[in-house]
Amino acid sequence: MAQVPLFIKSFFAIFAFALTLALPATATAQANSNGWEICNETSYIIEASTGRYEGQGVVVEGWTRLRPGACERVIEGNLRPGIHYLFGRSSTAHRGGRKIWGGQSQLCIDPTGSFAVENIPDCGMMGLEAREFRPVLIENSQRWRTSFTETEKRNLEQASAAGVQRLLDNAGVYAGRIDGYLGRKTRAAIGDFLTSKGLDANTPAAEWMDILEQPAIDRARNVGLTFCNRTNNRIWSAMARRRGEGWESRGWWLLEAGGCARVIDEPLLQAGLFAYAEMETGDGEIRTLTRGSDSFCVSKAKFAITGREACEETAYRTGLFVATPAPVNRKLVFEFFERDFGDPIDAS
């Protein structure tokens, strides 16, 4: 790795000092203003949508972009105590498919761009899609804060550092732990990135995080396996492939009508991939693929299963997967169509 110039080493010190002092100070300043504030304590860039009661209905708005370690006010001024709603999705820059932060309250969103709509029972009537939001009970009429979190608990300072690491990794300029600490390896990757982009050492961290997002998005788009739903119903999808000397099956990836999800985010170097899906009908029944012929294990909940034999004996069940075409140029898009699914069966 290239030697890090002195001016970049100085930048590291300034950046680390800023993370330590500026973020808590900013959070304190924001807390002194009225409104609903949402914070990102994860290592992902998050796009957030919110819902609030107005009159007899719920107004849903999106999208508010949150860098790791950042907070944004989504409602200004005094608040109406009671239930509000929150939904988040990770940027497409990040590997591993889109992460979702939600709940069980279904509201309508526009997945393609900024929007503000009054929720209706049938999202499809307005060309919208349904998502499951998290109810948030706001109990203070002046200020309230809600945070997106990961399994690894981080404060805003650590989330910002972890977000830098994840973006560097997704852009292909860093391969290390996403631990929220700016060690030697991370600092060297930052230096290489700044040098490659001709950025000044004093460039604000938020600015070059935004610059990092685009090459990460481009890189993700050009490799891996993507599933797309070409039906009018919601689909739950799974994939299987050979891993080492054995087999592995993984699921579930939710595919809304017309939606896609990247299920493998690394270059596809060989054939031998399999796809599976179950379609919701809205009547408590499901439809499964009719042309599946390769048996792999699946589970009711999210799963990653090694092996493909005796599924029922290990508390799983057997699903018949479809062999996909061979990848081209290290990537493959596999589409599910209405014609691929059989008659409804009782999901219970």
The 10s digit of each residue's pLDDT in 199-211 is 877 777 788 888 8
* Exposed e or buried b per residue across 27-56, where buried means at least 16 C-beta atoms within 10 angstroms of its C-beta: beebeeebbbbbbbbbbbbbbbbbbbeeee
Any idea which of 106-110, 136-140, 262-266, 328-332 has the lowest mean pLDDT?
262-266
The two tokens of residue 304 are: 């990653």
Distances (CA, A) of 88 to 79, 329, 346: 21, 32, 32
Does residue 286 surpass a pLDDT of 80? Answer: yes
Are the CB atoms for 247 and 241 separated by under 8 Å? yes
Any idea which of 6-20, 42-56, 144-158, 189-203 has the lowest mean pLDDT?
6-20
Most trustworthy range by pLDDT among 29-43, 211-225, 291-305? 291-305
For residue 113, the model assigns a pLDDT of: 86
Residue 27 DSSP label: H
- When pLDDT is cut at 50, 70 and 90, the band that residue 71 belongs to is very high
Any idea which of 52-61, 64-73, 93-102 has the lowest mean pLDDT?
93-102
Q: Using CA atoms, how far apart are residues 215 and 348, in angstroms rounded to an integer?
A: 45
- Cα–Cα–Cα angle for 22, 24, 25, rounded to 5 degrees: 60
Model pTM score:
0.66
- When pLDDT is cut at 50, 70 and 90, the band that residue 63 belongs to is very high
Bigger pLDDT: 223 or 184? 184
Tokens 């090459």 — which residue? 215
What is the overall mean pLDDT for the chain?
84
